Structures are given as structure tokens and as C-alpha cells.
A and B are shown apart, each in its own frame.
Chain A
Amino acid sequence: MSKATTSNPLARRLCNQYLLFSMVGLLTFFAIVVYICVQLPRMDLVAASMMIPCLVFFVGSVVFKRSVYWLSELEAQLTRFADPTVGVEELKPIPSTSNLANGWNQLLAKVQQQEVWNGVERRLSESFNAQQVRRWEAIFQQLSDGVVLCDESGVIVESNRAFSNLVGVTDSTHLVGQPLVDSIKPLIHDPESIDVVEQMVVGPANQVGEVRMSDRVEDGIWRISMRRSNQESLGHGAMVWTVRDITQPRLAERAREQFVITATHELRTPLANIRAYAETLSTAKDIDVEQQQDFFNVINNEATRLARFVDELLNVSQMEAGAITVQKHEIYLERLMSELIEQQRPLSVEKSQQLEYLAPPKMPRIRGDKDKLAGAISNLIGNAIKYTPDGGAVKIRVENDPHHLYVHVEDTGYGISKEDIVKLGSKFYRSSDERVQNLAGNGLGLAFVQEVARLHGGRLNIRSEINVGSCFTLEIPIE
């Protein structure tokens, strides 16, 4: 190749061929001139010999053209190569054995091969990018926070599924082109909150605000943050909004606060009684022995109540931490039920109530935590007696089917309203009924019963009618 370049064989060959044909033509011409001088009288021979140089020129031209034809082809290919709109695959090799043509053909082969590789690489990279884009899209859609991209005037450009769910739209494409404020306005019944969002659209670059759906926490609270982006790719002045539903954490926070307030109240009340009676006993020396005894009994009862409350508080706190566990053993229900009923009987006798107990002839065998189940059942019986007026009736029925054991505790008590039934399992919740409020209680008992039922894979069912009575059914699966 290098030799061909330095010796330039094409140019030499062209010169040689040109020289050869010129010399042959010139020699023929001289020969003819000599011949004409010798053979002048023979004109026919002169004419014939004039044809010879023409023939030689004609043959020479054809041979010359054939040897340089591929050069024009090379020029044409190079011209196309220089044109950026022509693809490499459209260029052709030149059918010639000359070095220049070989060089072109090899160059073309290499370039075409490179182009094939480039194509493969491009397709691979495109598919990789597409996968990347799909991955980010999936992440964007999976985020639990609502994310919205808005243009500088606050019109939605793109939003994710979480945001659609928050504003109650099934298809997020319906939100595109709508001002963000308009999309959330119908949900917000708190005018101040609408102001918060409107101010954020026109306000400084980075802002955080809280939006309440109404004045009730239960209706929803969102934490909205807005950042104005300086990223070219998002568009000039674009805003990225993040919307987080903080209703549940707020409710939990409020419940915790309520818990502390109620627990403090529940601790202070028996303490106040103990202190007041102890102080009275220590100062009023002249009171009679009987009254003194009454006062000591109050102190004793209140201390017991305080201790029981502390126990229940511990139970509830264990329930909350998930630390309450059940130790399952076989339970002899006949004996357990009789014991529990006998424990409670003095209370019902005191209130002149009828305490009835019905059980199947053969009790099913169940496995469970005897102490916790005893606590739960005794709580239900105790409640029935406590919230049933004097002279009423409390009936305890044990039933079973092949899969469940049912302990029904029915009373002819005050009954519970439908609104109260829903809330009864909540800690510290006590019926709003004044007759119930007048009796000592801390609203932790049923939360405990429900937890015990849950830990045994069962549940607590409540049926009740105001002024007719209630029926609490503890349902425990038979293993």
C-alpha cells in the first residue's frame, strides 16, 4: 500500500499508456507518410493505409477508457461519502483490482463494519435508557407521597398515582393541564388551608405548609412541600410538590396525648380520695369508730382501684408494644367458668340480681391462656353486673359449634348506643351514658378483652339495645 502511494503507479500507468498509444500512432503516421511517397500511383493502397491509424486510435481509446473507467466510479463514491445525508450502507465497493480501488474497498468494508457495531451499541444503549426511564417511572408511581410537577404558573404537568389517590382521581392524566390549586380545592373545606396552597404557588422558592381538610383531624391533614426547581430539564421555574397524608400520625399523636391526660386523671382520682380520707382521719380525732372504719375502707378500696388501674395500664402498654403473649394450655372450662361465676356472685347478690349460668352437657376442649381468658370473661361478667340496675338479671351461656366456643354474657342493663359500641374497644373510652359515667371505671377493660380474643384468634361481638340490655359474646376458636 505504502509502495503504491509513494510510486504512484496509477499516474505512471496512465502516462505509460498515453505515451505508448502516442508513439504507436506517431510511428504508424510516419510509416504511412513513407508508404504514400513510395506508392503514390496506387491510391487505393494509400486510402487503405489511412484507415490503419484511425483503427489504432479507436482501439487505443477503448483500451484507455476501460483502464480508467473505475476512476470515475471512485470519484462518484467519494462524492457520496462526503455527503453527510448518505448512509455508509448505501456506498458500494469498486470492481477493480487496482490498489486505489482495493484501498477504497477495504476502507468501505471497515467503515461499514464499524457502522454495524455502532448500530448495535446504539440499540443497546437505547434499550438501556428506556429501561432506566421505565424504572424511574415505576419508582415515581410507587412513592407513597403524592408528587406533582407543575409549570411556573402552578399548572400540573405530571403527577403520580399517590397524588391521584389523595385527590380521588383514578387516572392521573386527567389532572394534567389543571392548576394544582383547583385539583385539591374541592377536598378542602377549610378556607385558611386553601390560602396556604395559593400563597405557596406565588411565594418563595422553597416552602412547607400544612393543609387541613376541615377543622376535624379525622377528615385529613396533608403536609405539602414545594420546591421551585432550577433544573433545565424540568422547565423554567417548574415546581415540584410533595404531598404527604399525615392524618394517621396526627391521630396517633392525639390518641397518645389523650392517653396521658386520661391516665393522669385516672391516677389522680383515687389518689385524691386516699389523700382526702387519710388527712380527714388524721385531723378529725373525734369521729366515731364506725365512721373511722368506713374511711379506712374507702382508702383500702381506692388503693385497690389504683393498683388495678396500674395493672391494666401495664396490660394495655404490653398490648401496644405487642409484648403481651399467650401461654396456651388445655383449659378445663367447667371448672374455670364455675370459679369465675362464684367469684362474681357476691356482687350480684349485693345488687339483688339474678345470676344464671347455662352450659352444654359436654364442654368442648379448648387450648388457651387460662389467666388471660379468665381475666377477659371475669371482666365481661363484672361489667354486666356493674351496668345492670339492682334487681336485674345477668345470664352467662356457653355454647359451641365444631370450630368455635362462644361465651355469651347477657344482661338487662342500661344498654349501649350504636355510636358507643363502635368506640368501646378503644382505650379509656367509656359509654357517654350518664348512668355508666356515674360508676367507677377506666375504660380499659373491653380493650383488654378484645386483645385477649384477638390473641386467641377469636373476637368479641357486642349486641345491645338502650334500656333493654347488652350481650357480649367472646368467640374463641377450638383447636
Chain B
Amino acid sequence: MVNYIIRRLLLVPVMLWGVTILIFGMFSFLSPVERSALYVRDIPRNERVLEGIITRYGLDQPIYIQYWKWLVGHKNEVTGEVEGGILRGEFGYSRTASQPVAELIRRRFPATLELALLAVIPVVGGGVLLGVVAAVNHNKLADHLARIFAIVGWSFPDFVFGLLVLMFFYARLEWFPPGRVSDWANRAIMSEEFRSYTQLVTLDSLLNLRLDIFWDAVRHMILPVITLAYLWWALNLRVTRSSMLEVLRQDYITTARAKGLVERLVINRHALPNGLMPVVTLGGGTVIGLLGGVVIVETVFNYPGIGSAAAAAAVNLDVLTILAFTLMNGFILVVANVIVDILYAVIDPRVRLD
């Protein structure tokens, strides 16, 4: 067990290194001139300026030296200070957001985190619940409906779904508005009396005992959360259903039934713990889904998180911002996958042995 965990953890630095290589590889598709242009905020007056930047940042040097400088930064010969270096958290300046990329991520991250945290429970819970219901009612109406939902749901792009729910619940019914909070709530949050403990509006408003702001924030989040969740219901449903079906066919379930246990106990005590084991492996997929989903969902619902910032940056070819976002995604996913693997080894003894 410990052996397995150590082996798995040792792979993490290798993966993170690979992630930076891949990102830098994408970066080097651009010619030195195009890359030097990323460092200027205004249109340069003459070509000598760009040449100066190319030599100053060493953009004409061998690729491995450039990679190293990009990774850890380089010394400014005039001031003697170390500049740049993504490991130092310096991703450069975001043209679309008119602020350093690190600052942009720091400001926008809480909103995305809040959305993702609220979405995790419906994403996993909804799919698992549907899957268990489908498996227990195998080949009955509920099962057929669930299977149809799984196929149709999987074919339904999240941005189309998002536009449709906006059309019905906002444009027609005016129940749930887009954005993060209403204007009045935003003014209240910005005011002196409101203290931001966590930057998560739902939590902060509860801590400030402002139930009206809490309700307003929740109303804004319902549609994005549903849009993030339903696609993964389809996938999680499938995995849970087939895993539950497999467990329900096992001999020990027949034994449990034969000794006269109530069906509810057979399902809850005997089948569920084993049937839900593969669901843990969906954790990695869920993180992928959330990281990819926020780009679309935040854009559709005009929600001010990193996802919408990244989409805006991509449209405007703001390479530094979008690379920082992708790098962050890669790091999050590598770490999430390790956690999932270790968790799975803890739950399922068969994994540790190989």
C-alpha cells in the first residue's frame, strides 16, 4: 500500500515537468518576433524595439535555454532583479484583462471555485443516484428512461443546453438571471460593512448574516450548476449502472437474498459499497468536466470566473493568459488524478497488489 502510494507520488513531478514541456512546446509555435510582441503593451515605434526585446529576453537563444528561462525567470542585467519565470508565479501581462495574469487568476479564481464546489455534489450525486435506480430496476421503465437519457444527454452540447435553459428560465420565466450576483447585491458586497472572509459569495453572505444576498447568489448559480452537471449525469449514470448490475449478479447477493434479507438492505448494505467503488475513478473525469465546463458555462451565463476570462483571452489571441490558464488546468488535473488513484487503492485492496 505504502509502496504503491510512493510509486504514484514519484510520478507526479515527472508529470508536472511534462506538462510544462508541452505548454512551452505550444508556446514555441510562435516565432521570436510574435513572442516578443507579447511583452510589449503598446504598438512599438520601430522594429529595433522588437529586436531589443528579442535579445533582452533571449528569444533567439537555443530552445532549452529559453525553456529554462521561461521556467525559472532570468536576471535583468540593468537592475539585477530576477524577472519572469512561471515557477515564481509570473505569467506575464494579460492584454485582455489589462493586469498581470497572476493577478487576474487570483481575482477570478474564487468565483470559479465557488461554482465548481457547488456543482460537485449534483454532478456526482445525480449521476450515481440515477445509475443505482436504473440498475435496481433493471430492464424496467426507469432503466430504459435512464438509458435514453444517458445517450441523449451525452449528445447534448453544454452550450446549447445552457442557451436553452437561459431561454426558458430567464428570457421566458425570468426566474434565474445570469451573472454572479445582482447589481444591488454587488453594491452591498463592495460596501464597507460587508466583510469578505473567503471570497465565496454564498459563504460570505451567510457569515455576514445577509440572507437576501445569499439567496440572490444561489439564484444566479442554479442554471450554471445544472448546465455543468447534467452532461456528467449521463456518464456517471452509465458507469454506476453497469457496475451495480455486475455486483447484483454476484453470488453473495443471492446468498443475502436467500437468507431472507429485505431487498432494501440487500441493496444498501451489500450491493452499494462494492457497486460504488468504480465511481471513485470518475473523480478524475469529474475534474476534467468541471475545468472544461466552466469555460463554456461561464461564457454562456456571463459569470465572472477564470473560465470566461480564458475564453475571452483565447478569442483575442492573448497567448500569455491562456497558457497560464492551461498550465493551471494541467497542474490541477495531475494532482486530482493522484488523489483519485490513492483513494481507489485505499478502498479497493485489489489495486494495491499489482
Genuine A/B complex: no
